[in-house]
């Protein structure tokens, strides 16, 4: 039986946008059974046919970018320019897998080969993958798993965040309009409480989640009990190291962008800026200036930041800022909850951030930068790695070889960038370590997460 209705609320005005009825038991059963049947048929289609459908999806993402951006602005506050870019990035991911998946999924001969033997590895689809997705990148997060999952020959059931059901419906319609079988890639409007039973359904082959560490633990426990493969892309508190020889203009400009994209609501947004003492004062001044220059307002206008996606998220962020200040952090910019409608929060900067403060210990999911002072490179690395998270990291230095050494050997994260900000790219594997999850999305690594790596030997 269905529970409460799901609703979208415009975070700019606080007004309800639309209400969706939760799927009842019969409706969910139809979606699962249809996806299961269609996945079995889809697994027998050629890679060329799957690629043709994904190319159709890529074309539609481009054609519908404006409409999709408007839905995102209305449901979770993303500025239109960022929404258009998100839709276009989805198109690129679909094109990437349409072009490169056939080679990535080709049979691989055993190495070293035995003379005269036929021994190889084949990559076969698993079935229906359940995708549990968040609201912050409501198109991109879904496509990150959908494009490789569908190209591998699987079906996909989407359990999207409750507040972005309009985005979920738009995605389902887009994939169907691109020529994928009806029901192969389908949205399930469900409350979180009904997810465990769905994971345990024998027709669900695997699970992928992008969300909080708390959600990841719950899904991993459930998937483990059901012996289902899962991929978890969870929270992050990404450190950005600014070394004494860094180009401070580049570092401050890049760090501000990395902190404020999507109003700071990103698992791979820069969170902690670890700055060596000789350049701390100048970097701080430059970062504050960059943050102060950003505009905040209605995401349907030309602004840098819209509101946070929900009022409760804004209130939680503000509480973290207040508690950090109470425990010794120094507020250099922002930090005040605006009056009036909407869940807006200003770009904010905290200095003197040390252990024991929320800005040091916790993920700040919003436009708040935390500056930590480091005595030297060794101390900077200790601070960077002193976190339960391990998703992304960056280092700024004019000595590129030094930056590469720190990125490769010292920083504990799944993705490390030198003199740039962390972002996902279909060509490169994406994911984290520690409490940021496990498994990888994108590249051949992500494509092969949800396949049967099957050994075939001819005697």
User: What is the secondary structure of 68-80 as a DSSP string?
Assistant: HHHHHHHHH---H
Which position among 267, 362, 363, 415 bears the catalytic label? 267
The answer to whether 204 and 155 have CB atoms below 8 angstroms apart is no
Kindly indicate the confidence band of residue 1, based on its pLDDT and cuts at 50, 70 and 90. Answer: very low
Mean pLDDT, residues 428-444 taken together: 98
**Residue 407 reports pLDDT greater than 80:** yes
Mean pLDDT, residues 367-393 taken together: 98
In 10-111, the DSSP E strands lie at 16-20, 108-109
- pLDDT reported for residue 345: 98
267 is catalytic: yes
Mean pLDDT, residues 336-356 taken together: 97
- pLDDT reported for residue 171: 98
Q: What is the pTM of this model?
A: 0.96
Which position among 95, 233, 363, 441 bears the catalytic label? 233
Mean pLDDT, residues 160-189 taken together: 98
The answer to whether 374 and 395 have CB atoms below 8 angstroms apart is no
Mean pLDDT, residues 248-252 taken together: 98
- pLDDT reported for residue 113: 86
Mean pLDDT, residues 39-49 taken together: 98
Question: Under 8 Å CB-to-CB from 27, ≥6 apart: which residues?
Answer: 2
- pLDDT reported for residue 242: 98
Mean pLDDT, residues 433-446 taken together: 98
Mean pLDDT, residues 401-428 taken together: 98
**Residue 3 reports pLDDT greater than 80:** no
Give 375: exposed, middle or buried? Use CB within 10 Å, 0-12, 13-18, 19+.
exposed
The answer to whether 377 and 243 have CB atoms below 8 angstroms apart is yes
Rg of the Cα atoms in the chain: 23
196 is written with which tokens?
A: 């465990």
Give tens-digit pLDDT for 270-294. 999 999 999 999 999 999 999 999 9
pLDDT above 70 coverage of the chain, percent: 99
The answer to whether 192 and 214 have CB atoms below 8 angstroms apart is no
- pLDDT reported for residue 459: 81
The answer to whether 138 and 162 have CB atoms below 8 angstroms apart is no
Between CA 284 and CA 329 the distance in angstroms is 14
The answer to whether 374 and 243 have CB atoms below 8 angstroms apart is no
- pLDDT reported for residue 4: 75
326 is catalytic: no
Between CA 322 and CA 333 the distance in angstroms is 13
Question: Under 8 Å CB-to-CB from 334, ≥6 apart: which residues?
Answer: 291, 345, 346, 347, 348, 349, 367, 368
**Domains in the chain, start-ordered, CATH in brackets?**
6-234+434-458 (3.40.605.10), 238-418 (3.40.309.10)
pLDDT above 90 coverage of the chain, percent: 97
- pLDDT reported for residue 116: 84
Mean pLDDT, residues 413-429 taken together: 97
């Amino acid at each position: 039986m269905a529970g409460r209705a799901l609703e979208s609320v415009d975070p700019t005005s606080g007004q309800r946008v639309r209400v969706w009825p939760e799927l009842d038991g019969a409706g969910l059963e139809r979606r699962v059974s249809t996806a299961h049947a269609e996945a079995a048929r889809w697994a027998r289609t050629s890679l060329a046919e799957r690629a043709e459908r994904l190319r159709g999806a890529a074309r539609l993402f481009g054609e519908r970018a404006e409409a999709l951006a408007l839905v995102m602005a209305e449901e979770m506050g993303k500025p239109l320019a960022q929404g258009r870019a998100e839709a276009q990035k989805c198109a690129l991911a679909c094109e990437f897998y349409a072009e490169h998946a056939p080679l990535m999924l080709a049979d691989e001969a055993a190495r070293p080969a035995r003379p005269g033997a036929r021994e190889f590895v084949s990559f076969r689809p698993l079935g229906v993958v359940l995708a549990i997705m968040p609201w912050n990148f409501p198109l991109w997060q879904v496509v990150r798993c959908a494009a490789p999952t569908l190209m591998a020959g699987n079906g996909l059931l989407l359990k999207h965040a409750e507040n972005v059901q309009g985005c979920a419906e738009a995605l389902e319609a887009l994939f169907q309009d691109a020529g994928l079988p009806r029901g192969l890639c389908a949205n399930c409007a469900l409350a979180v409480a009904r997810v465990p039973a769905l994971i345990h359904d024998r027709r669900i082959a695997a699970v992928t989640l992008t969300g909080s560490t708390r959600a990841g633990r719950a899904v991993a426990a459930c998937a483990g009990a059901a012996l289902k493969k899962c991929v978890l892309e969870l929270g992050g508190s990404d450190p950005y190291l600014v070394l004494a020889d860094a180009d401070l203009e580049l570092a401050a400009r890049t760090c501000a962008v990395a902190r404020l994209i999507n109003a700071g609501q990103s698992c791979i947004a820069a969170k902690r800026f670890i700055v060596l003492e000789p350049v701390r004062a100048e970097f701080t001044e430059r970062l504050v200036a960059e943050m102060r220059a950003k505009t905040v307002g209605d995401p349907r206008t030309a602004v840098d930041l819209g509101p946070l996606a929900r009022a409760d998220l804004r209130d939680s962020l503000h509480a973290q800022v207040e508690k950090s200040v109470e425990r010794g952090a120094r507020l250099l910019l922002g930090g005040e909850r605006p009056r009036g409608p909407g869940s807006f929060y200003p770009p904010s900067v905290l200095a003197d951030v040390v252990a024991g403060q929320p800005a040091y210990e916790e993920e700040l999911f919003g436009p708040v930068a935390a500056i930590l002072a480091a005595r030297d490179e060794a101390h900077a690395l200790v601070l960077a790695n002193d976190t339960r998270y391990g998703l992304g990291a960056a280092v700024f230095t004019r000595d590129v070889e030094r930056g590469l050494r720190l990125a490769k050997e010292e920083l504990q994260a799944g993705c490390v960038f030198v003199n740039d900000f962390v972002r996902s790219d279909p060509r490169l594997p994406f994911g984290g370590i520690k409490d940021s999850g496990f498994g990888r999305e994108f590249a051949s690594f992500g494509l092969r997460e949800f396949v049967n790596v099957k050994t075939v030997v001819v005697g």
